[in-house]
Homo-oligomer: A and B are copies of this chain.
Amino acid sequence: MSSSRKRRICFPITSRAYYGRSQLLLKKLHQHPGVELELMLGGSILLDKYSRHVADDIRDGGFTISASLFNVIEGGNHVAMAKTACLTALEVTNTLYTSDPDVVIICGDRFEQLAIAMAAAYLNKTIAHIEGGDRTGSIDESVRHAITKLAHIHFVTNDDAKRRVLAMGEDPKYVFNTGSLDVERAACVDADITTGELSAYGVGHDVDVAKPFLTVIQHPVTTESDNRLHLETTFRGLAALDMPIVWFWPNPDAGTAEMAETLRHFREHHEAATEKMRFITNVPADQFVALLRRTACVVGNSSAGIKECSFLGTPVVDIGGRQQGRLSADNVVRTGYSADEVRAAVTKQLAHGRYAPSNIYFKPNASQSMVDVLTSIELYTQKRFHEAS
C-alpha cells in the first residue's frame, strides 16, 4: 500500500450485537483522516425481526455502505445456518472484489463471520480479527479459532486469549490485548432507561425498572439438540420466582426457530406465568447497557453476562455450555440445565446483590488502540505458523 493513499478498511456487520459493541471503533475509523471506512451489511442486521431500525440507524450515521446483502436463509436450523454462511461468503466476495479494501475487520465468532473471513483470505486481503482466543462452547468455539488462523492482525480482550492465539502460531508482533470493545462501551455509557422507554419495545407486560427485575438472554447452543427443552427449563426455574422479567428473543443461530416458537407458546398458553414478562427483540445499545446496570440478575448464556456485566458488577446466572470455559469474574454463577439449579442460583445472586467491578475484560481506550494499529501497522498477506523459539 502506498503511503500516500488512505487505508481502505471494510467492516462487515451481520448482527446488531456487532454494531452495538463496535460503535466507538466505527466512529473513530470513520473520522480518521488516513482511513476510508466502508461498511457491508448482511445477515440479521437487515431483518426487522431481529434488528428493527438498526440498519436504518447505521445508514443515518453517514457511513459509506458498500452493500446491503439479504442472505439469511429461513429455517432456523443447522442447514439454514450453514447455507446462510455460504451465501454470505459468495456475495461478500463480489463486494470485496469491487471495493478492494486493504483490511477487512472480522468480529468475534458468529458463523457467518468465518465465511466472510474465508472469502477475504482467498481474495488476499489482510484480515484483522477482534476477540480471538477466548474459550467457549457452541460452534462459536470452532469458528473463533478458525478465524484466528485466517487472520493477520489480532485484537484480543484478555491475557488468556492472547496466550492461546500465540500458541496457535500467530506472530507476536501482530497480537494485541486491547481489552474488550463491549466493556469499553459499557464503561462509557451513562444513559439510563425508564419504564416508559422499555415499554416502547417488544410485546407483553410492563416491567418497572425501578424495582428488582431479571433479564433473560438465552441463545441457541448450536452443538446441542435440545434447545427447546433448555429454554423450558429456564422458564420453569424462573416462573417459580414470580419476578418481573425482561426476556430477549434468541439470536438467529440454528435452534432459534424452536426457541422462538417456545416463547410464543409461553405467551399464548401460559398467560399467568408470563404476566410479569416483557418479550423484546432488541433495544438500542446504550439502553441495553443501562438495562444491564439496572437488572437484579442476568440469566441465560449471553456473552454480555460474562463481559459487560463483569465490569458493571451485575450478578449473572450463566446456564449450560455456551460460555463454558470463558474467562469470568466473580459476578458469574454457572449452572446446568436444571430448573432447580437455575432457581437456586438466581436466588443466591439476588441475595448477594451487585459485585465490585472487575477489569478482566477492560482496558481504557480499547477502540483507540485498535485504530492506532490499523492505521500504522505494516500489512501482510502470506501467513506463516510462528513457532516460539
Q: Which A residues are closer than 8 A to B by beta carbons?
A: 46-49, 67-75, 77-83, 85-87, 89-91, 93-94, 97-98, 111, 114-115, 118-119, 121-124, 135, 137-139, 141-143, 145-150, 164, 167-169, 203, 222-224, 254, 257, 261, 268, 321, 324-325, 381-385, 387
Contact = CB atoms under 8 A, between A and B. Distances in A.
Leading 9 A-B pairs by shortest Cβ distance: A82-B122, A86-B90, A145-B149, A86-B89, A146-B149, A72-B74, A146-B146, A70-B75, A82-B93
Given A124-B223, A145-B385, A169-B145, A261 B85 contact: no
Nearest to A161: B385
Contacts of A224: 382
B97 A387 contact: no
Contacts of A203: 268
A254 B141 CA distance: 30
A123 B268 contact: no
B150 A168 contact: no
Given A98-B67, A268-B203, A91 B91 contact: yes
Complex copy number for this chain: 4
A381 B135 contact: no
A124 B222 contact: yes
B87 A87 contact: yes
A91 B89 contact: no
B67 A83 contact: no
A223 to B, nearest CB: 5
A48 B73 CA distance: 14
B94 A69 contact: yes
Nearest to A380: B223
Contacts of A69: 94
Nearest to A121: B142
9 contacts: A67-B94, A70-B79, A79-B94, A86-B93, A121-B139, A124-B139, A137-B382, A142-B149, A164-B169
